[in-house]
Amino acid sequence: DIVMTQSPDSLAVSLGERATINCKSSQSVLYSSNNKNYLAWYQQKPGQPPKLLIYWASTRESGVPDRFSGSGSGTDFTLTISSLQAEDVAVYYCHRYYSTPYTFGQGTKLEIK
């Protein structure tokens, strides 16, 4: 299976500051047939299912605040929260979805400093 590795495992950021989470795939998720990166980001709060934030590596899901952005291509991706809000405390996961078996990163726990 393709392995997704996130860094760091945990992160503490001050309110209003930038948070950056990285995700590295063991194989490229960029497919030449349509030039798209099959990479999504999810946010999970305690007791809740994951919530889709970003797909195609950089497309924000409807209703997701614009402080969330995704970037990267091929094997290296980044989720950025431009100005951390208290409600952003959560665990964040990357997800490769071109083909099954789908695989997820191990998660990055984001806290307030």
Partner 1 sequence: QVQLQQSGPGLVKPSQTLSLTCAISGDSVSSNSATWNWIRQSPSRGLEWLARTYYRSRWYNDYAVSLRGRITNNPDTSKNQFSLQLRSVTPEDTAVYYCAGASTGAGYLDSWGQGTLVTVSS
Tell me whether residue 11 or residue 91 sits nearer to partner 1 (CB atom).
91
Q: Does 103 bind partner 1 (CB under 8 A)?
A: yes
Candidates 23, 38, 77, 79: give the one binding partner 1 (CB under 8 A). 38
Q: Does 61 bind partner 1 (CB under 8 A)?
A: yes
Q: How far apart are CA 45 and CA 51, in angstroms?
A: 9
Give a three-class secondary structure readout of 3-47. CEEEECCEEEECCCCCEEEEEEECCCCEECCCCEECEEEEEECCC
Cα radius of gyration (the chain): 13
Tell me whether residue 21 or residue 84 sits nearer to partner 1 (CB atom).
21
Shortest CB 16 distance to partner 1, Å: 29
Q: Does 104 bind partner 1 (CB under 8 A)?
A: yes
